[in-house]
Amino acid sequence: MSRSRARLLAMTTAACAAAALAVAAPAQADEGIDPSAVTPGTGTEAPARVMGDEQTVAADEPVAAARQYLDDNQRTFAIDGGDLTPIATYADGATETVRFAQSHQGVPVFGAQYLVHMRPDGGDTTVTGANGTYYTGLSVDTAPAATEATAVDRAKQYVLEGLAGGKFTVPATGPDVAAASRGLVVLPEGAGRLSWHVTVSTVDGKGTPVVKEVYVDADTAWPLFAYDGIQFDSPAAGTGVKYDGTESPIGVTKSDDGTYKLVDQANAPTDITTYDGRGWDVRSVLGGGVPEGMPIYSGPSTRFDGDATESGAVDAHVNAAHVYEYYLKKLGRNGLDGNGMDMTSVVGVDLGGQPFVNAFWDGTKMVYGSGGGDFKTLSADLDVVGHEMTHGVVEHSAGLIYAHQPGAMNEAIADYFGNAIDVDYSGTSMRDPDAGLLGEDLCRTASPRECALRDLNDGRTTADYEGLTWEFDNGGVHANSTIFSGALWDIRERIGGAKADKLIYKALTEYLTPTSSFVDGRNAVVQAALDSRLSWLERGKVLVAFLQHGIVDGWEKRIGDASQLMTGITTERTAPAAAGGWWVAAKGSPEGGEPYSMYSGRTSGGKPVKLADPVEGRFNVMPATDGKWAVWIAWGAADALIMRAPVNGSAPAKVVGYARNPSRLSVEGSWISWQESTPSGPKQWYKNADDPNSYEEPVDGTYHKTSGLGEIRGGKLYYVLAWPDSERYHLNVVVRDLATRQETMLPEIMAEGSTTEPAGLYGPKPTSKGIVIGVDARPGNQAGIVRISADGKTVKTLVDEASANAPLLGEYDATSSAVTFENWPGDVPPKIWQVSIDGGKAKPMSCTTGVQFHVNADEGTRAVWFDGMYGTTALVVRDKPRSHC
């Protein structure tokens, strides 16, 4: 039988992050497999890795050989071959690898891929090992209770809520939002969680494109999590003038009308095409494909200069060809998907008629802004183009999810190959101190080191790892990338570009899977070095590179400076609550696979109390407490139940109300309030849970008024109202006596004319010393915090919006002693700060480097929050702020 060993197309797979899983018992090895070769998996009976014990199977074709090996060793692998679909085969002459994707009852399983490694051996095949993730405990029903349309609607709302950032503004036309379902997927948590995958595209308040991959529970329609989807004719010979003034040959195509288009057909079947996005808003090009009507960049002759140079069209076209040539000639990969995928660029887009100084890969094409000010268009630097297009290579091979450690490796590998392409093409020595700089040529006047986006030689190690969560940088995909890319770059410096590039490409395509960690990445490169038969000295250099960057087993174990109340929190979009010495928070089951339960506990510490198991088909989320009662939402596909229980768990939870689309609960005794999302905008609702004649009701039913951010204290509901008169909209704090329904509108805090978007008020926090409220009344992103008297006539500034240290305000809470607030400065993770209720200097609540968010005040200066410094997200508490860090 003749051997047919062709490199196959690596199909795109769905990328997702699995929640924390319990460690399973090691799989037993078959009689023919040495137990020492088996590394047990996590949360599955299938091993994570089998290496060092070779077997020969009587099969010639790679996929058949891989399947036979898994079947012959069923006792070790516990894999049902019917759940595996081959999605790629890789061959480099000496070895071959088959990559399988797992499904459950025909539905793809998020991030689940298994790889089998082998080498041809005459008419047989010698299997050298296997690795990956296959989930053996899946039993979830794949029939969804929530409709696809409901999931799409909830995903859109989830993204818009995140962009609003907790601020209440006057009604305004929101951004255009597009949402498309990608179908069902099984999240591999315990027995599995069926979810809808929805892609939402819009822009944030600054006009920056936003593409979110949202996963919505298919039973309850609760958005589980989201991560960024943007990873920021006849042939003829032509000439293009690049941004730096040099000329370069380019491939063009002559049209029937005699003009020439930027379409390079020299590498058939791959076309390299550059589209003219001038006059197009970046928001119109989000998502797959090129918008209908957008023209290919064209000119009257084969020479492209002038506006073709200034818009970045020439650089985009030339550099895309360099990327294609590098992957084809040096790594044997035909295009980004390995099967001749067209390489498409769109240049010159703007943002609301203003320059757009950014670029991104959206899954199908590169999009470059028009540039402006001190920056050239980003297509003018080859390493940036190589970086973004390498995201396409990663997407069509390992599919590293764009979050946490896998996402940081995704960025690291893109940085590595982007820089490798640039360094090799320019002839820069690896010993050049600027060789590790990415994007160093983008500035018009600044030096390369001042301009660079990242430096692969920055020396960062896992000791510098920033403990981030989904809410910030997708879990640190950029913040932590140079830890891994630095190790890869060190390898390139020590063993040479040719060997290192092939080694890292082999690790990417043949060993890494969507959920691989830094240690998995190290193991992949080390195994690729063994497969490639590098010398013992070279393999030693590979190991030392990872060691010097702290990528060793168990590096993730970290210690913070707060007390942990509950760990292993995998919930999304639901914050903890605290009051009266008690906390309340939602948490998934230890092994995952079921909706969230609700827990409580003493803020002084101790074992958590489970207040309620999940109601069938519902998530327990968005808790609030007054220190005696805990209330929360049991979120379902069609409606939401308002639940209440004693905070100490002394009695079972009861349904005390109903809502459609609630958020921001507050409770005091029998009174409960919440904010409802409606087609005309938010509305504040409330009810008396102990009065059988009390029904859920809004504070106002007028269509042109909006209200929300309510808080109950002393039998009164404090909320923000947006209302118009003949001249403008106003924002006021309103106080409603819940027993009499009488209302008092407090004087406006914001000056006339300052209530235009994005100015606004944050939620009022009533205390015995007055009402604390966040105010954004000035240009810029910072906000201030003030305390107003009960009648609203006296205003005391606690945090000055005009000061240099004014925060980018997130959530905050207040007691009669202090105001504890989040600062989201953008360039570092959000941090928790505290200021006295009487004002003064704000102090940090913690000195850890990771994310601190979802803060809630308890009593005095004690506060709780979610912290990312503990391996998994943990609920933590501190009794007082740090004096300094």
User: Considering Cα of 267, then 269, then 270, then 276, what sign does the dihedral take?
Assistant: positive
- 158: enclosing H helix or E strand: helix 148-164
User: Could you identify the residue written with the tokens 């002038």?
Assistant: 306
Nearest C-alpha neighbor of 809 from the set 765, 753, 751:
765
Identified catalytic residue from 104, 322, 478, 854: 478
- 156: enclosing H helix or E strand: helix 148-164
Q: Phi/psi zone of residue 826: left (φ > 0), alpha (ψ -120 to 50 degrees), beta?
A: left
Pairing of strands 270-276, 343-351: parallel
For residue 632 the two structure tokens come to 């929360």
- Residue 345 β-bridge partners: 274, 366
Would you report the helix, strand and coil content of the chain in percent, each value rounded to 5?
20, 35, 45
**DSSP state, residue 444:** S
Instruction: Tell me the DSSP string of 296-316.
Output: BPEESSSEE-THHHHTTHHHH
User: Could you identify the residue written with the tokens 């070095």?
Assistant: 529
For residue 735 the two structure tokens come to 């106080």
User: Could you identify the residue written with the tokens 């009604």?
Assistant: 171
User: Could you identify the residue written with the tokens 């037993």?
Assistant: 28
CB–CB of 784/802 below 8 Å? yes
User: Considering Cα of 133, then 137, then 143, then 149, what sign does the dihedral take?
Assistant: negative
User: Could you identify the residue written with the tokens 């084969």?
Assistant: 302
Q: Is 478 a catalytic residue?
A: yes
**DSSP state, residue 583:** E
**DSSP state, residue 380:** G
Phi, then psi, of 432 in degrees rounded to 5: -65, 130
User: Could you identify the residue written with the tokens 């042109």?
Assistant: 704
Whole-number Cα distances in Å, 44 to 26, 53, 192, 207, 568:
9, 21, 12, 43, 18
Q: Phi/psi zone of residue 694: left (φ > 0), alpha (ψ -120 to 50 degrees), beta?
A: beta
SS3 call for 497: helix
State how far the Cα of 486 lies from the Cα of 494, in Å rounded to an integer.
12
- 148: enclosing H helix or E strand: helix 148-164
The residues, ordered by sequence, that sit 6+ positions from 75 with a Cβ below 8 Å of its Cβ are: 27, 28, 29, 30
In terms of C-beta density within 10 A (0-12 exposed, 13-18 middle, 19 or more buried), how is residue 663 classed?
A: buried
Q: Is 388 a catalytic residue?
A: yes
Q: Residue 387: how many CB atoms within 10 A of its CB?
A: 30
By residue count, the chain amounts to 885
Identified catalytic residue from 189, 388, 538, 811: 388
Q: Which residues are known to be catalytic?
A: 388, 478
